[in-house]
Structure 1
Amino acid sequence: MDPLEGETSSASIEYEPVSVKDVLVEMKDTAELLIDLSYSAVLHRSEELATEVLRLEERMDVLEMRARMSLLMAARKPADAEQLAPVLGIVGAADEISDAAGDIAKIVLEDMGLPEAMRAALPDAAEALLRGVVAADSPYAGRTLQEIDLESETGVRAIALRRGNEWLLNPGPTTRIEADDVAFLRGPESAIGDVCETLTGEVYEAPTVESPDIDDLERAVDTIIHMKDFSELAVDLAYSSVLFDSEELAEEVRNLEVEVDAMQSRFEAWTLRAAADATDPVVLRGLIQLGSSTERISDTAIEISEGVLRDIDVHPVVQLAVQESDEIIARIPVERDSDLDGTAVTEGVPDADSTMSVIAIRRPDEGWLLVADADAELRGGDVLIAKGTRTAAAAFRDLASA
């Protein structure tokens, strides 16, 4: 049965005066959540998470149509059309990410099959993600996130809530959790179980994994994990290139896209070799679709940054949309002899008085280093790509300055 049977997927959409900025913010946040949920659905073999991806995909279709209507209304002269054309590219890119995430979810829903090696690799690539329905007698029900103080107490954070058909993305301190809400929480595996039981009254079952026994399959899985990380980084950098109107960042997006293309070629070769030794090659079908969808996500980053690459002035509505997103990506050069020069970074967390997470480091002599792949020590001359709140980013810049 269709997991969304009974829900309207083709309801008519009429123009209504809405802020393009607000729609773009919601599209960006929705796209990021879609990527997160789709890969977690694969990890946990979770039809519930996969179904939530399809719900969000339908929501993205509505947002895309509303954004296009509003942009058409905003173009009144040739100069407007020139500045708004790249915005249409950003709108289309977010929808393309949504479609790719939907295809990843269908790997689970259509039972295409994935090797157990995939489950063994993904826990190293992401924290645990929990989808749970808030029980009526949960201690969290009827309280705000600030009152619960969940992240400080457990390290687990709420990344979204669904209340019926309404989505609450990036919930803040004043957001109240209600009984029957569908909550999406992310955090360390060691803490997520207790939070799950408190939230839902049910025991959390961690996924079991097996080590791969085919070398080429292990290489293929390692490659797809790198493709995922590079694709997500490319999308983040693309939005940052728009925010800073940075041609340098936009060029790095292009370089990352070329790297992901090369990875996909190697991934396909290793997957085909693994098929010759696999007991049941059909289980690799889902892995192939995962590779194709991941590469599509990296392609969308070029569409987001295309206006910057073509030296078209960034339309103010785009800058406002990126700037007002709850979590930002910051590009921060580390000056020599600054407080960050020589600072250790472990699993993305710098040994400094900061809540920023370091995603990647660009070194003049080494290129890009994904911090998730290895611990590192910051050096003067490094350019950091870091994620966090706007306030935290400002303080982190001060630490990076001599």
Structure 2
Amino acid sequence: MDPADVEYEPVSVKAVLAEMKDTAELLIDLSYSAVLHGSDEVAAEVLELEERMDVLQMQARMSLLMAARSPEDAEALAPVLGVVGAAEKISDAAGDIAKVVLEDIGVPEAMRAAIPEAVETVVRAQVVVGSDYAGETLGDLNLETETGVRVIAIRRAGEWVVNPDRNTTLEADDVVLLRGTETALSTVYETATGDTYDPPEPVDSSIDDLDRAVDSIVLMKNMSELAVDLAYGSVLFDSEGVAEEVVELEAEVDALKSRFEAWVLRAAARVDDPISLRGLVHLASATEVISDAALEISEGVLRGLDTHPVVAAAVEESDEVIVRVTVTADSRLADASLGDLKVKTETGMRVIAVRRGDGDWVISPGPETTVHGDDVLIAKGTRAGASRLTELAGGEAGDS
């Protein structure tokens, strides 16, 4: 969409900010997935979503300018503009990552073969007329439970449904973004599109330790996503403690970027065409931009400025809420694994990070991750799920 087509219209700043938050998080997820899996189709959807973000940020800026009627208003709304600007930077960085794939800037084709089994694939599919999915709600289809595949977003006639829920109905011609294992995706993709899902054939690597680079990319993706989640969480909880965690993560991402760049330079000396690795340098730079933007989101909290109510309300009312829960020593979760208690199934919350009592982080914990008393869980999901997780952990949600 051409920015010239965007005109001022009365919109809820809270609603726009909530959509910007959800869109920024989805952009990070999709852009890295496009690189890891070498998917032009997913990369193209990133650029479509980036255009939507451009419209949202302009609507937000115009509404905020209309709301500032005094110096006091300007002072209160300045941090809100900072949040808008940071979300725009995340969007631009995600677009740059997608262009690494679309413009063939230079990423080893063998990267897909080195992806850890735990990393799920993202696939774009278009629901055809006559598909068993057309006209059905996600709740009725029960895809995630029945197949292990989750619909993470829908593009319908140029509009986006981010984080669709069980009441969302799939319609013919919907473009759906699916996440799951390739085995599970095959069946869902065929039912949606009528076509066979043919994943690219793995390519042998001429780089001995390419798996190490892939592990670094997965870690950069996870840490960037966590930094953004925590940044919005710091605003929601008005918590300087959570904001300081963002500072720590930003520093860790910078260090990871430096190590990754060093790996690329060393690898360039061992390949016939060093330019074939140029895209990895772009990827490292974009990752740093995302973590810097996360820091900007939490900057107002770090500077002791009161969080504007519209920002906190937007974060709280976005499609997924973020909670920070402390595990008490006498809770059911203490000294148990996330899988033992089926935390995701029982609560509907995805634990995206665990901060140990000694300050160490576990990024993207799995079912085998054991938690202990005094661990802090960072989780995303529904409000009802947040209450169930809090009860299970025996702590209090929020700034603990």
What range is the shorter-chain TM-score in? over 0.9
Residue 358 (structure 1) aligned with residue 312 (structure 2)? no
Query: Quick one: distance in 2 between partners of 1:161 and 1:262?
Result: 35
CA contact (8 A) 1:340 1:352 kept: no
Over residues 157-207 of structure 1, what are the superposed CA-to-partner deviations in whole Å (9 max), with x where a residue is unaligned? Answer: 222111121112222223221111111122233311100000001111234
Q: 1:373 to 1:116 in 2, by over 3 A?
A: farther
Query: Quick one: distance in 1 between partners of 2:37 and 2:208?
Result: 23
Query: Quick one: distance in 1 between partners of 2:38 and 2:323?
Result: 34
> Residue 60 of structure 1 corresponds to which residue in structure 2?
53
Query: Quick one: distance in 1 between partners of 2:286 and 2:334?
Result: 38
Query: Quick one: distance in 1 between partners of 2:273 and 2:288?
Result: 25
**Percentage of matched positions with identical amino acids:** 62
> Residue 35 of structure 1 corresponds to which residue in structure 2?
28
Residue 163 (structure 1) aligned with residue 160 (structure 2)? no
Structure 1 stretches of 5 or more lacking a match?
A: 1-7
Q: Which runs of 4+ in 1 moved over 6 A?
A: none
Counterparts of residues 1-400 of structure 1 (less than 5 Å): 8-124=1-117, 126-210=119-203, 212=205, 214-215=207-208, 217-346=210-339, 350=343, 353-372=346-365, 375-400=368-393
1:353 CA drift (Å): 3.7
> Residue 398 of structure 2 corresponds to which residue in structure 1?
none
Query: Quick one: distance in 2 between partners of 1:189 and 1:82?
Result: 50
> Residue 4 of structure 1 corresponds to which residue in structure 2?
none
1:389 CA drift (Å): 1.2
1:104 CA drift (Å): 0.8
CA contact (8 A) 1:107 1:286 kept: yes
1:81 CA drift (Å): 1.8
Query: Quick one: distance in 1 between partners of 2:243 and 2:87?
Result: 17
1:137 CA drift (Å): 1.4
1:352 CA drift (Å): 8.1
Equivalent position SS for 1:392: helix
1:118 CA drift (Å): 2.8
1:61 CA drift (Å): 0.9
Q: 1:210 to 1:342 in 2, by over 3 A?
A: farther
- Shifted more, 210-219 versus 161-170: the winner is 210-219
CA contact (8 A) 2:121 2:179 kept: yes
Query: Quick one: distance in 1 between partners of 2:362 and 2:210?
Result: 24
CA contact (8 A) 1:212 1:218 kept: no
1:224 CA drift (Å): 2.7
TM-score using structure 1 length: 0.92
Over residues 276-322 of structure 1, what are the superposed CA-to-partner deviations in whole Å (9 max), with x where a residue is unaligned? Answer: 01122111011111111111111110111011101111111111110
Over residues 236-277 of structure 1, what are the superposed CA-to-partner deviations in whole Å (9 max), with x where a residue is unaligned? Answer: 100111111110010010011011111111111111011101
Over residues 137-164 of structure 1, what are the superposed CA-to-partner deviations in whole Å (9 max), with x where a residue is unaligned? Answer: 1011122222222222212222211112
Q: 1:351 to 1:74 in 2, by over 3 A?
A: closer
Structure 2 stretches of 5 or more lacking a match?
A: 396-400
Equivalent position SS for 1:184: strand
Query: How well do the aligned residues superpose, as a CA RMSD in angstroms?
Result: 2.1
Over residues 6-28 of structure 1, what are the superposed CA-to-partner deviations in whole Å (9 max), with x where a residue is unaligned? Answer: xx434332211100001111111
CA contact (8 A) 2:339 2:366 kept: no
CA contact (8 A) 2:37 2:111 kept: no
- Shifted more, 248-257 versus 388-397: the winner is 388-397
Query: Which one-letter code corresponds to 1:227 in the other structure?
Result: M
1:225 CA drift (Å): 2.3
Query: Quick one: distance in 2 between partners of 1:39 and 1:178?
Result: 27
TM-score using structure 2 length: 0.93
1:235 CA drift (Å): 0.5
Over residues 351-370 of structure 1, what are the superposed CA-to-partner deviations in whole Å (9 max), with x where a residue is unaligned? Answer: 88433222111113251121
Q: 1:124 to 1:329 in 2, by over 3 A?
A: farther
Equivalent position SS for 2:160: strand
Q: 1:36 to 1:346 in 2, by over 3 A?
A: same
1:215 CA drift (Å): 4.7
Query: Which one-letter code corresponds to 2:9 in the other structure?
Result: E
Query: Quick one: distance in 2 between partners of 1:106 and 1:179?
Result: 29
Equivalent position SS for 1:330: strand
Query: Which one-letter code corresponds to 1:61 in the other structure?
Result: D
Query: Which one-letter code corresponds to 2:222 in the other structure?
Result: D
Over residues 23-69 of structure 1, what are the superposed CA-to-partner deviations in whole Å (9 max), with x where a residue is unaligned? Answer: 11111111112112212222332222222111111111111111001
Aligned residues: 395
CA contact (8 A) 2:354 2:376 kept: yes
Query: Quick one: distance in 2 between partners of 1:68 and 1:276?
Result: 47
